[in-house]
Amino acid sequence: MNKTNDLTIKVPEEVRSIMERLTEAGYEAYCVGGCVRDSLLGRAPEDWDITTSALPEQVKSLFSNTVDTGIQHGTVMIVRKGTGYEVTTYRIDGEYKDGRHPEQVTFTRSLEEDLKRRDFTINAFAYNKETGLVDLFGGLDDLEAKVIKAVGDPNKRFEEDALRIMRAIRFSAQLGFSVEEMTYDAISSHSDRLAQVSMERIRVEFEKTLVSKNSGKVKEFFRLGMGSYILPGYAKRCEDFDEEIAASYSGLGAEERRYLLLADLLRHLSAQEAKDALRKMKYDNQTVTTVSKILQYQDTCCMADKVSIKRALNEQGKEIFFLALQMKEAVAKESFSTVREMAKEILDKQEPYTIGQLAVTGNDLKKEGISEGTRIGETLQRLLDQVIVEPDKNTKEDLISMIREQQEA
């Protein structure tokens, strides 16, 4: 077993406590996979997974608060202070008939056998304080070389789990690594296996790549023949994802950037086509609506005057207005700072641009003898049209006076 004892990883207290409890009971226990990789890269791990020689029932007997999250595959979740930590028994996977999951697993006492089944060398590390870093497949060298490389035969790894072909590109994007030549060649040979993977899982890997610091890596999915499984019916029109446009969104908040990156991906589609594409990708309604509206309005001309901007804010809504403006700037490669500054001033001064901001309500109109629902709506819209031009007129006294003048006319 290849070990590197001079590398120390800072393991969280709860994780260390779980591992110590297992070792005190006579079992082996290691942190494993992505948490070790990220620690070696100086990144904060999102999750800490533990692998052990203890069988699931033995793990459960040692801890009071456990959840059977995947016990048929050897995984038990131990809950500590509201956080779950997955502990999985060393295992050897059986045949993968569905291209995603082994038909059966065999538990083993060998850490080496367990690590052999993992996808990439940089995800096949194990670590505990006593043994140090266990690196059986040259993962440290690949980390240093910034390479994504399959454990063993890449064709076998991808035959086992088709989603791994997307994970290779996703890790490449997130870490800024290249994909090793044999692994890269094997990806294109297995792209049709994505037909076995659910759209939900495909979408997750695709989006993680899209929102990474290397968004342009999504082009690899199309180059390697995966486009038709990611964007059925629209892949050809989305292949020329614009990395320069994507880069212009780097300073935005995570959710704003996600919406705009999806809009960039789909910018050659109509708003209705974008809706269809996102629904096929199983996106939530909020994402479908927001992205399609960005595309609907990003070509809309908005003059640099307050009346035009208020009308645009009324039609589009505040969030879509600024997102569409952001995309318009990125695509046109020019600044619309005057429009943005005017819009912010309108919002800061609370100048009315919606019916809800009027100083009168439907009840006020009823008191003036306007009882029919349609007439109330039409009257409020006329009042709004007036105060958009003359915001100082948005007082109850002025608006009631306008209503009375209209009734007398």
Q: What does the pLDDT read at residue 95?
A: 61
Distance from C-alpha of 243 to C-alpha of 330, rounded to nearest angstrom: 11
- Output the tens digit of pLDDT for each of the chain's 409 residues: 455 555 778 999 999 999 999 999 999 999 999 999 999 999 999 899 999 999 999 999 999 999 998 888 899 999 998 899 999 999 987 565 554 555 667 899 999 999 999 999 999 999 999 999 999 999 999 999 999 999 999 999 999 899 999 999 999 999 999 999 999 999 999 999 999 999 999 999 999 999 999 999 999 999 999 999 999 999 999 998 999 999 999 999 999 999 999 999 999 999 999 999 999 999 999 999 999 999 999 888 777 899 999 999 999 999 999 999 999 999 999 899 999 999 999 999 999 999 999 999 989 998 888 877 788 999 999 999 999 999 999 999 999 999 888 777 5
Those residues with Cβ within 8 angstroms of residue 367's Cβ, 6 or more apart along the chain or in another chain: none
C-alpha pair distances (Å), 283 with each of 221, 257, 288, 296: 19, 16, 6, 18
Q: What fold is seen in the domain 1-145?
A: Beta Polymerase; domain 2 (3.30.460)
The model's pTM is 0.88
Do 1-145 and 150-230 agree at the fold level?
Answer: no
C-alpha pair distances (Å), 210 with each of 81, 170, 204, 216, 260: 33, 9, 10, 7, 11
Distance from C-alpha of 128 to C-alpha of 209, rounded to nearest angstrom: 31
* Residue 360 and residue 399 in contact, taking contact as beta carbons nearer than 8 Å: yes
> What residue ranges do the domains of the chain occupy?
1-145, 150-230, 295-348, 355-408
Q: What does the pLDDT read at residue 1?
A: 45
What is the chain's percent helix, strand, coil content, to nearest 5?
A: 55, 10, 35
Residue with tokens 């990883």: 9
Identify residue 398 by its one-letter amino acid code.
Answer: D
* Residue 148 and residue 22 in contact, taking contact as beta carbons nearer than 8 Å: no
* Residue 176 and residue 158 in contact, taking contact as beta carbons nearer than 8 Å: no
Q: What does the pLDDT read at residue 316?
A: 95
| Nearest residue to 58 via CA among 84, 34, 29, 96 | 29
Write down how long the chain is: 409
Q: What does the pLDDT read at residue 300?
A: 81
Q: What does the pLDDT read at residue 166?
A: 97
Identify residue 142 by its one-letter amino acid code.
Answer: D
Q: What does the pLDDT read at residue 8?
A: 76
Say which CATH architecture domain 150-230 belongs to. Orthogonal Bundle (1.10)
Crossing angle for the helix pair 373-389 and 396-408, to the nearest 10 degrees: 120
User: What Rg, from alpha-carbon coordinates, does the chain have?
Assistant: 29
